[in-house]
Chain A
Amino acid sequence: MTRHLLKLVWNRKRSNALMILEICVSFLVVFVVATLGLFFLDNYRLPLGFEWKNAWNVHVGLGRSEAGANPSGDFAAQQAVYARLLQEVRAMAPVEAVAGSWVVPFDQGGMSSTYDVNGRKVDMDADVVTVGFDKATGLDLVAGRWFEEADASQAWAPVVIDQDLARTVYGAADPVGKNLFDPRPGERPFRVVGVVRDFRKGGELMPNGNFIFRFASLDHPDGGPLRNLLIRVRPGTPAAFEEALVKRMQQVAPDWSFEVRPLPQVRATSFLFFLTPLIVAGTVAFFLLLMVGLGLIGVLWQNLLQRTREIGLRRAAGASRAAVHRQVLLEQIVLTSLGVLIGTLLVIQVPILHLIGVLSNRVLTAGLLAAMAAMYLLSVLCALYPSALASRVQPAEALRYE
């Protein structure tokens, strides 16, 4: 049966080739959009690792640009002002906790490092934070402890890593108290003092990844003050508190500028940033598929019209209407399979050649299956009407047809 169908398809290879090409390209379009959507969905299910509700971020503008290429300023004086800021903000009634941080959760900007760990390169996202950061963001400590101010005077530099990084470097062993890697000459070794649950700074839509917290002591300026304050406010704090907050900070540091953004707002911006391209691509893909669908109906209809005599002959030789119907649908499924097969062969180059590192095989497989399902559905739906028309052909009429 299958061989027979393939033969029928082969006999009309010239017009079928184009249809296969069209199905193949549509398949690729659906695959890209579906994979992107599934990638976000897959990430969204995972725990975030911190609490964004009731957290506010204050970006601190130091009145100088933030590029490290500029001559260094008076770090000690700036650090003293920064420490006073933390103190003053902490003293305000609606504030539960406050800490300094280099990067902003959910924000696109960030910091990343690559270190040699036991001879292999490990990429990790990083943040530099002060003592109270675990309270301000609601981190979940699973082993060891958080930073203490006394850590600054040790012979090693304390770090807290997330479970992902712990798994990557230590496997099942307990990382607490171990050095992360051999120190470069003249530098203090990184010693793990604690492990937190997977921390996903990029937000719910971004994948899990290695994360490392480094410690910034308020007494030992190292590269100047941090750029952000993370504040945990009491639930129900009104937005109007923002003005009082900025006024107080402006009193402490008149030369600096402050930009308050509640984390829910940063999160909404980041969702918009990632989802807008998906929505645009999805809309365009939808219209493309609609166009392809209508095109397929037209082409199938026309093709079947040309085969009236063939179909009439089958009917005359005793084939039932259902049999004709089945033949047309099966032929279409064979065509679709060929298009999907070519598309799949192209798509599996992605994991084989490691073209896009962040996509897990699970997401790729799901995207592939979704695209296959969409194409089979589309082409069977498009074949239904023309095939119904074809099966209505009367043998006598068909054989007469010229």
Chain B
Amino acid sequence: MIKNYLKIALKVLSRRKFFTFISLFGIGVTLMVLLVATALLDYVFAARTPEVHADRMLGVYRLTMQGPDDTETTQPGYAFLDRWVRPMTKLPSVERIAFVTEAQTAISYLNGRKIESAMRRADGEFWRVLDFDFLEGGPYTAADDEAGRFVAVINETTRERFFGGQPAVGKTIEADGQRFKVVGVVRDVPVLRYASSADLWVPVTTAKTSAYKEEWLGGFYALILARNHADLPQIKAEFQSRLREAEKHLPDPKTFKRLYAGADTLFEGAARLFLPGGRLEENPGARLRAALLALMLGFMLLPTINLVNINLSRILDRASEIGVRRAFGASSRTLVGQFLIENVVLTLIGAAIGLGLALGVLRAFNVSGLIPHTQFQLNFRIFFYGLAIAVFFGLFSGVYPAWRMSKLHPVQALRGRSA
């Protein structure tokens, strides 16, 4: 049965080439845009090096302090994290907790050439919460951090810039007027991985002053690695209750009275960062998901109307066929099914074209180097999403024309009239 439908579908497609072309062009371009967007999101949020355990990792990326006059939102400060988040290591569901600063630009001058590197200060645990690809050497340890040793892990790009790609372990690198001994080199991490990406990682204790130890706001992230994905809700709840407790011990209770933050997944962290009002929510992830879905549907609106329009105008093409089938007793439900399948077949062919186009666009992105250290790829997961989107698009744009076709009156249809 299905095989028969497929045969008819392909026959119809090859009958009017111009129509097939404009339909496929629309579907292909639409799915190309959606696939590129999906690949981008996947690149930012999915589990991959170094956030191999992204599914059981939470981060405290933003802290908002609110008072009667002022509201300040920025990264949490070391003092806040040290007092209220670090003790969570004792929870049985938490494996370990790492502290790392936001990336800052560090300037070096090498033979009169200026080099800007993104630098993060990270503790020893950072290297155990995340899983970097080491090309040579290894991470520094918690002991190095406590002793304030001037050691550094650099990425491939930094090795290329400073040492011309030669082995770098044991050599010295200067950044922002400080000198570090290189202990390890890792593969580049794309800048879109906002919790980990940098060109240069050095111990927290090498900061030029120790003022950061007193600060509630500014500079730091805490990364919490849970033992199991299932423990995340419980850890989030625990974090919220600690936040309520912290409100009773604010350093300047006159200016600021309320605290807002969350133990967020990478996706929720981005929502807290970019969604208006997200900083005050306990769980802004759901709203970002809804916003992305709305954006996708909004984008698909015009292509859908276009495809519906084209399909409807072709009813006449099929009128005699429909008339014969109705006359021989096919129910309208059967016909709706048949036309839907036809439309889905059409969108799947379009999706294949879209996939090809998306590959081209992503390759162009990679070659252009618009986003540093980024090599977009299409993986199985994105392919699956793309398939789901294509089927959805096919059904979405096929329902109305299929229903209209099935409503053709047999006598009228056999005479070759559409209305």
Q: Does B314 contact A (CB under 8 A)?
A: yes
A288 to B27, CA, bound (A): 11
- The answer, among B72, B109, B312, for a CB contact under 8 Å with A67, is B72
Beta-carbon contact of A257 and B26 below 8 Å: no
Nearest opposing residue in chain A for B75, CB measure: A65
Beta-carbon contact of B255 and A292 below 8 Å: no
- When distances are taken between beta carbons in the complex, the residues of chain A under 8 Å from B208 are 63, 254-257
Q: Does B235 contact A (CB under 8 A)?
A: no
- When distances are taken between beta carbons in the complex, the residues of chain B under 8 Å from A15 are 312-313
A71 to B19, CA, bound (A): 70
Smallest CB–CB gap between B395 and chain A, Å? 18
Known: A243-B112, A260-B107. A64 touches B313 (CB 8 A): no
Nearest opposing residue in chain B for A28, CB measure: B302
Beta-carbon contact of B176 and A257 below 8 Å: yes
Q: Does B217 contact A (CB under 8 A)?
A: yes
A315 to B416, CA, bound (A): 23
Nearest opposing residue in chain A for B313, CB measure: A302
Q: Does A278 contact B (CB under 8 A)?
A: no
- The answer, among A64, A290, A306, for a CB contact under 8 Å with B209, is A64
A73 to B211, CA, bound (A): 9
Instruction: List which B301-323 residues lie within 8 A (CB) of chain A.
Output: 301-303, 305-310, 312-314, 316-317
Nearest opposing residue in chain A for B401, CB measure: A18
Known: A29-B302, A303-B313. A295 touches B26 (CB 8 A): yes
Smallest CB–CB gap between A119 and chain B, Å? 20
Beta-carbon contact of B109 and A246 below 8 Å: yes
Beta-carbon contact of A69 and B306 below 8 Å: no
- The answer, among B216, B219, B309, for a CB contact under 8 Å with A22, is B309
Q: Does B290 contact A (CB under 8 A)?
A: no
- The answer, among B306, B316, B415, for a CB contact under 8 Å with A291, is B306
A21 to B25, CA, bound (A): 20
A19 to B256, CA, bound (A): 56
- When distances are taken between beta carbons in the complex, the residues of chain A under 8 Å from B301 are 25
Known: A71-B252, A292-B306, A295-B26. A246 touches B107 (CB 8 A): yes
A20 to B204, CA, bound (A): 62
Known: A255-B209, A298-B19. A22 touches B217 (CB 8 A): no
Q: Does A169 contact B (CB under 8 A)?
A: no
Beta-carbon contact of B177 and A254 below 8 Å: yes
Beta-carbon contact of A69 and B316 below 8 Å: no
Known: A65-B219, A259-B105. A22 touches B176 (CB 8 A): no
Beta-carbon contact of B107 and A258 below 8 Å: yes
Instruction: List which A243-291 residues lie within 8 A (CB) of chain B.
Output: 243, 246, 250, 254-260, 284, 287-288, 290-291
A302 to B313, CA, bound (A): 6
Q: Does B418 contact A (CB under 8 A)?
A: yes
Q: Does B389 contact A (CB under 8 A)?
A: no
Interface string of A294-330 (1 = CB under 8 A from B): 1101110011011000000000000000000000000
A213 to B399, CA, bound (A): 61
Q: Does B160 contact A (CB under 8 A)?
A: no
Q: Does B239 contact A (CB under 8 A)?
A: no
A63 to B211, CA, bound (A): 7
A29 to B305, CA, bound (A): 14
A131 to B350, CA, bound (A): 64
Known: A18-B308, A18-B312, A69-B72. A291 touches B177 (CB 8 A): no
Nearest opposing residue in chain A for B79, CB measure: A70
- When distances are taken between beta carbons in the complex, the residues of chain B under 8 Å from A292 are 302, 306
A70 to B79, CA, bound (A): 10
- When distances are taken between beta carbons in the complex, the residues of chain A under 8 Å from B104 are 61
Q: Does B218 contact A (CB under 8 A)?
A: yes
- The answer, among B30, B112, B212, B316, for a CB contact under 8 Å with A65, is B212
Known: A15-B312, A257-B177, A294-B26. A288 touches B303 (CB 8 A): yes
Beta-carbon contact of B216 and A70 below 8 Å: yes
Question: Interface centre among A250, A254, A288, by most B CB within 10 Å?
Answer: A288
Beta-carbon contact of A22 and B302 below 8 Å: yes
Smallest CB–CB gap between B45 and chain A, Å? 20
Beta-carbon contact of A299 and B217 below 8 Å: no
How many B residues touch the partner, as a band? Answer: 35 or more
Smallest CB–CB gap between B217 and chain A, Å? 4
A15 to B22, CA, bound (A): 18
Instruction: List which B110-146 residues lie within 8 A (CB) of chain A.
Output: 112, 114
Question: Interface centre among A19, A70, A306, by most B CB within 10 Å?
Answer: A70
Beta-carbon contact of A69 and B308 below 8 Å: no
A15 to B404, CA, bound (A): 11
- The answer, among B26, B209, B316, B418, for a CB contact under 8 Å with A63, is B209
Q: Does A26 contact B (CB under 8 A)?
A: yes
Smallest CB–CB gap between B318 and chain A, Å? 12
A259 to B177, CA, bound (A): 12
Beta-carbon contact of B177 and A288 below 8 Å: no
Q: Does B1 contact A (CB under 8 A)?
A: no
Beta-carbon contact of A70 and B114 below 8 Å: no
Beta-carbon contact of B305 and A287 below 8 Å: no
- When distances are taken between beta carbons in the complex, the residues of chain A under 8 Å from B312 are 15, 18
Interface string of A8-39 (1 = CB under 8 A from B): 00000011001101100110010000000000
Q: Does A42 contact B (CB under 8 A)?
A: no
- When distances are taken between beta carbons in the complex, the residues of chain B under 8 Å from A172 are none
Q: Does A353 contact B (CB under 8 A)?
A: no
Nearest opposing residue in chain A for B30, CB measure: A291
Q: Does B65 contact A (CB under 8 A)?
A: yes
Beta-carbon contact of B22 and A65 below 8 Å: no
A67 to B105, CA, bound (A): 18
Nearest opposing residue in chain B for A257, CB measure: B176
Q: Does B74 contact A (CB under 8 A)?
A: yes
Interface string of B65-78 (1 = CB under 8 A from A): 10000101010010
- When distances are taken between beta carbons in the complex, the residues of chain B under 8 Å from A297 are 22
- When distances are taken between beta carbons in the complex, the residues of chain A under 8 Å from B303 are 288, 291
Q: Does A134 contact B (CB under 8 A)?
A: no
Beta-carbon contact of B109 and A243 below 8 Å: yes
Q: Does A356 contact B (CB under 8 A)?
A: no
Beta-carbon contact of A64 and B305 below 8 Å: no
Nearest opposing residue in chain B for A402, CB measure: B416
- When distances are taken between beta carbons in the complex, the residues of chain A under 8 Å from B217 are 65, 67, 69-70
Beta-carbon contact of A66 and B252 below 8 Å: no
Beta-carbon contact of A26 and B302 below 8 Å: yes
Q: Does A240 contact B (CB under 8 A)?
A: yes
Beta-carbon contact of A250 and B218 below 8 Å: no
Write the residues of chain A forming the contact surface with B, with a CB cutoff of 8 angstroms. 14-15, 18-19, 21-22, 25-26, 29, 61, 63-71, 73, 239-240, 242-243, 246, 250, 254-260, 284, 287-288, 290-292, 294-295, 297-299, 302-303, 305-306, 402
Write the residues of chain B forming the contact surface with A, with a CB cutoff of 8 angstroms. 18-19, 21-22, 25-26, 29-30, 33, 65, 70, 72, 74, 77, 104-107, 109, 112, 114, 176-177, 207-209, 211-212, 214-219, 251-252, 255-256, 299, 301-303, 305-310, 312-314, 316-317, 415-416, 418-419
A-B contact pairs, 7 of them (CB 8 A): A61-B104, A69-B65, A71-B251, A258-B107, A291-B26, A298-B22, A302-B314
Task: List the 3 closest A-B pairs by CB distance, nearest first.
Answer: A65-B218, A302-B313, A67-B217
8 additional contacts (CB under 8 A) given A64-B218, A292-B302 = A18-B305, A63-B207, A65-B218, A67-B72, A70-B215, A255-B209, A288-B29, A291-B25
